[in-house]
Amino acid sequence: MSSPADVVETKPSLLDLFLAFAGIAVMGFGGVLPWARRMLVERRRWLTADEFAEVLSLGQFLPGGNIINVAVVVGGRLGGPFGSVATVLGLMAAPTIIVILAGALYLRYRHLPSVHGALSGMAAAAVGLIISMGVKMLQPFITKRALVPLLFVSLTFVAVGLFRVPLPLAVLVLAPLGVAAAWRGLA
Amino acid sequence: MSDDHSPLSTLFFSFAFLSLFTIGGVNAALPEIQRQVVHVHGWMTDQRFADLFAIAQAAPGPNIIVVTLVGWEVAGIPGALLSTVAMFVPTSVAAYIVGHFWHRFRLARWRIAIQAGITPITVGLVAASAFLLARSVDTNVVAVLITVASAVALTATRVHPLVFLATGAAIGAAGFV
């Protein structure tokens, strides 16, 4: 713990892994990734900033929740299969209970007009959250003027957003094409 | 077809299958989930789905807990737990396997091509998701304004997202949405 820059050498226990990710989950109202970085890189020093960036980009393009994939990979590297189980359980336990409690409240009070209105207003704001997420993901491609990636962004948007192609079909067709184009681009 | 089965097995297999295609995260797959639960299986209305989406976005933790709520709405607590497991176990197994060898091949051309080729598709999926959710949720002028205002503010500032969710809720509770 005394070396300021380096990653901690001793392997964390399964309980440490569980608690770290439980902490990330509970603090992460409205977005867990900044908290994941703070916990893993700055507080626990299990990963360097570069390692975190690499694990994060892996978690983002694999199927599944980004932060769940990050938990699986980090848990696996630090504690093998049981490490992954510990991190994922840590991440999921409290949110699952909280959201079921919220669901129970919703069931009880959803007939009230003000609850109905509040949720409609919240849903509208939540869509803004996803728009802003899309804009932030798009920005690097625009600043780099990466034309081929932008073409695939547009193709995907048109197929799924405008023509409502089912997600599995869109992914099965577009992902291999995207990878093939990237492969050629690297030559 | 699924009418003869318990909704539990339908929930489980639909989400386990769908999870394998959720590149870009669950937010990118929300319209597909909505289509499945509202239009294919008829488990709830669009309005109900929008409510659950709003609750899940405000709750702490990973975004996939929207399927916890969907499962709970369809089949109670067993539905909630089974849907959640279906949504994260298959992809977690995949992430474990890939995570093991990914670092070793970080300079390999095929690995760089896979990542570079798939990332733009995840961006397109998130954009499509935002567009479709906006069409589903923004059914009046006030809702559109809330969406636009929170999108602009969240992109341009570092204000916490909960501030916007709470503001939207307040405006809605006052009867304007």
Could you tell me which residues come within 8 angstroms of residue A3 by beta carbon, excluding any fewer than 6 positions away?
none
* Residue A32 pLDDT class (50, 70, 90 cuts): confident
Give the pLDDT confidence of B109-147 residue by residue, as tens digits: 999 999 999 999 999 999 999 999 999 999 999 999 999
Please say whether the dihedral angle defined by the alpha carbons of residues A18, B85, A68 and B35, taken in this order, is positive or negative. Answer: negative
Q: Which residue of A has its CA nearest to B147?
A: A128
User: How far, in Å, CA of B34 to CA of B142, rounded?
Assistant: 23
User: What tens digit of pLDDT does each residue of B3-53 get?
Assistant: 556 789 999 999 999 999 999 889 899 999 999 999 999 999 999 999 999
What is the rounded CA–CA span in Å between residue A184 and residue A187?
5
pLDDT tens digits, residue range A64-110? 998 999 999 999 999 999 999 999 999 999 999 999 899 899 989 99
Please name the member of A29, A154, A160 whose beta carbon is closest to the beta carbon of B162.
A29
Structure-token pair, residue B107 = 């300079």
| SS3 assignment, position A183 | helix
Q: Write down the mean pLDDT value for chain B.
A: 92
Given a cut of 70, is residue A31 above it in pLDDT?
A: no
Alpha carbon distance A123, B56 (integer Å): 10
Phi, psi at B135, each rounded to 5°: -65, -35
Q: At B2, is the pLDDT very low, low, confident or very high (cuts 50, 70, 90)?
A: very low
With a threshold of 0.85, tell me whether the complex ipTM lies above it: yes
Measure in Å the smallest separation between the Cα of A3 and chain B Cα atoms: 25
Show residues of chain A in contact with B31, CB under 8 Å: 160, 167
Cβ-count burial of B117 within 10 angstroms (0-12 exposed, 13-18 middle, 19+ buried)? buried
Q: How far is residue A78 from each of residues A47, A83, A101, B83, B115, measured CA to CA in Å?
A: 10, 7, 33, 28, 24
User: What is the tens place of the pLDDT at every residue in B93-107?
Assistant: 999 999 988 888 888
Asked if the C-beta of A66 comes within 8 angstroms of chain B's C-beta atoms, the answer is: yes
3-state helix, strand, coil in chain A (%, to 5): 80, 0, 20
